[in-house]
Chains A and B, each alone.
Chain A
Amino acid sequence: MKRRLRSELSLLVAGAAAALGCSSSEPRQADYKGVAYPNDRPSFDRRAGRIGYVANRNDDTVSVLDLDAMKLLGTVPVGRDPVDIDGPRHVVLDTENDLAYIALSYPFSEQSPHALIEGGTQRAGYVEALDLDDLSVMGDLRVDPSANELAFSPSLSALAVSHYDVFRALSSENDDRRANLVLVDPARDIALDDATARRSPLCAVPAAMAFSADGSRLFVACTGDDALVVVDPRTEKVLSSVKAGEFQVNKPYALVADSARGRVLLSNQVTKAVSVFDMSDEPAMLASLPVLGPPMFPVWLSDSTIAVPFQQPSGVSLFDLSTNQELLQALFPIEDCENAAELSLTSDGRLLLVCEGTHYQPGSVVELDPATLEIRAKVAVGVYPERMAISEP
């Protein structure tokens, strides 16, 4: 209503101005004096508590969660295309600049038979910079097809983008199978539509990535090369590429790194095992922890304990890293949590799990009891979530 009153007053002013100033014989256009295109988006107060941001890749939205109350605050559409699936894969937060970055993957861009006949090709991926208050789009940057995972280094203010480009890997040979690593430094320039993407060939089908705490190293799970790759982001040089696991084919996908503990955890989907590496320029595998199904994104619960989500069946296992023994395993009925994907531990010790769901119906975020792995609370999100970024107050 205030907006209407403001608009009517502005029209009064405009009318008066027009009446006083319409002596010119040249037709001219009066400017609209009201507030055109007012921003009526809801904003999300990050200072009030823990907020979770979940990208839903099959409905082009971000679910915003109040993680303290375990309730949905809002569902915000993202992406550049109002019809096609933009495939938002992953949100990372740049709280210093009040921004979030999201990768758009366009997962179905090569699947229309008619488009292929017409010569259609893969679509380029994009990274969008979103205002963290209301997730409105500030700017974007074109990257390569199959933009997949993001990693953000607060130390460098740099963003890394991987491209899970299976098409390239299958249709090329040798070094041409490698997809580019894109580095954006400073990442905040994306919000100004003034960012430069530094591209360098990385490996075949790179997936998850993590920066070291000081930003001097980037660790990458390279699915196609079956390797853990270490990159110097300043020079873009690949420092090493070590085998992902103890078997002939391991198929790494998820990866988390902890600089304080000096470890990288690499989840191998074929061998259904998490490889534990030291966090060096030539990582050495210290242990391989078998789980019941393909493992996803694990989390440290303490210096000696990690929790690993896995799929088919959907569950979580706790491991003691000092003995490499499984301590506890929980399986979830599909109605409670189908396709467990990523675990997070909040600063107050709460264990949260993203459940992908069927990929065609809404997924969820559940809170687990860290000791028993029982589900304490659940909140529905959008279609095909995989990862969650958490803003702590």
Chain B
Amino acid sequence: MRAPIPATGFGLLCCALLGGCSASEKTAVARGQELFESKALSPSRLNDYTCVSCHDLRASAPPSKKPGAPLAGATLRSRFWGGQEADLLHAINACRGYFMSASQPLTADDTDARALYAYLESLEPGDDAEQPFTIVTDIAALPRGDVINGLALYAQACSTCHGSMHDGRGRLSERVPILPEDTINEPTHADFTPRVMRLVFTEKIRHGLFLGYSGVMPPFSAETLSDGEVSDVLEALGVLGE
């Protein structure tokens, strides 16, 4: 395989050779990046997310704790969502529908959908391999964890959306619960024992909105957070089950 020419650079080079672009012309790649980084990918006023909320562009070391896979190379992949989606646009629409409250899916003819594709394509080659995404379906009682590690993990995995622990400072919006108090104090949780409350938190981390739950939270896969790391987060939250 020959060395790929970065598509963005190629397009910009063409512009320059042909006399230069006016600032008033927004390329599809630029529009795609704008959609990627803003809430505009969904028209819903209830949307608090951007793609960046859950995805990095490229894999990092140590691995990111964002729930979604790095997206450079997504245009070259054949499977998404841990193999459960075989179409990139379907995979994007799943994010828009489940997390971003979009009521209508994008079609391949939509200008914005095409712009988003242009931006993702500009990130090639990236990683073209299917990204592991194992949903932990069976929720078990986890052993106690490490509070120091849990605080660091909270900062990486939770605070982007939920803001600071206990006061929610910096959270995505006022709709996002402050952890752990808002969840503990939900009226429907009033009768939960500490043990059950710990299972509820574990289930929410693992299942997000899926598997009979609700809301707009994404699930954290086994690859993103190990059981030990979930224990650490619970320790930091003070959801100890006792």
Binding site for B on A (CB under 8 A): 1, 4, 7-8, 11-12, 14-16, 18-34, 36-37, 39-41, 60, 76-77, 79, 81-84, 108-112, 114-118, 120, 136-137
Contact = CB atoms under 8 A, between A and B. Distances in A.
A37 B88 contact: yes
Contacts of B203: 112, 114
A31 B116 CA distance: 11
Contacts of A117: 188
A36 B89 CA distance: 9
Interface in B207-237: 207-208, 210-214, 219
A109 B28 contact: no
A311 to B, nearest CB: 25
Interface residues of B, number: 60
Interface in B66-97: 78-91, 94
A37 B89 contact: yes
Contacts of A81: 210
Given A11-B11, A115-B214, A77 B83 contact: yes
Interface in B21-54: 21-28, 31-32
Most buried by A among B20, B83, B111, B211: B211
Contact of B21 (A18, A60, A84): A18
B101 to A, nearest CB: 16
B129 interface: no
A19 B20 contact: yes
A36 B108 contact: yes
Contacts of A19: 14-15, 18-21
Contact of B78 (A36, A40, A60, A110): A40
- Please provide the 3 A-B residue pairs with the shortest distance between their CB atoms, ordered closest to farther: A15-B14, A112-B212, A115-B212
16 contacts: A8-B5, A14-B27, A15-B17, A19-B15, A19-B19, A21-B25, A22-B25, A24-B24, A29-B26, A31-B28, A33-B28, A36-B113, A84-B211, A112-B213, A115-B212, A117-B188
A12 B14 contact: yes
A16 B14 contact: yes
Nearest to B31: A29
Given A24-B25, A30-B27, A118-B214, 9 more contacts: A15-B18, A18-B25, A24-B24, A32-B111, A32-B114, A34-B117, A41-B87, A79-B84, A117-B188
A31 B114 CA distance: 7
B186 to A, nearest CB: 9
Contact of B22 (A22, A40, A41, A60): A22
A29 B115 contact: yes
B28 A14 contact: yes
B1 interface: yes
Given A11-B7, A30-B26, A1 B1 contact: yes
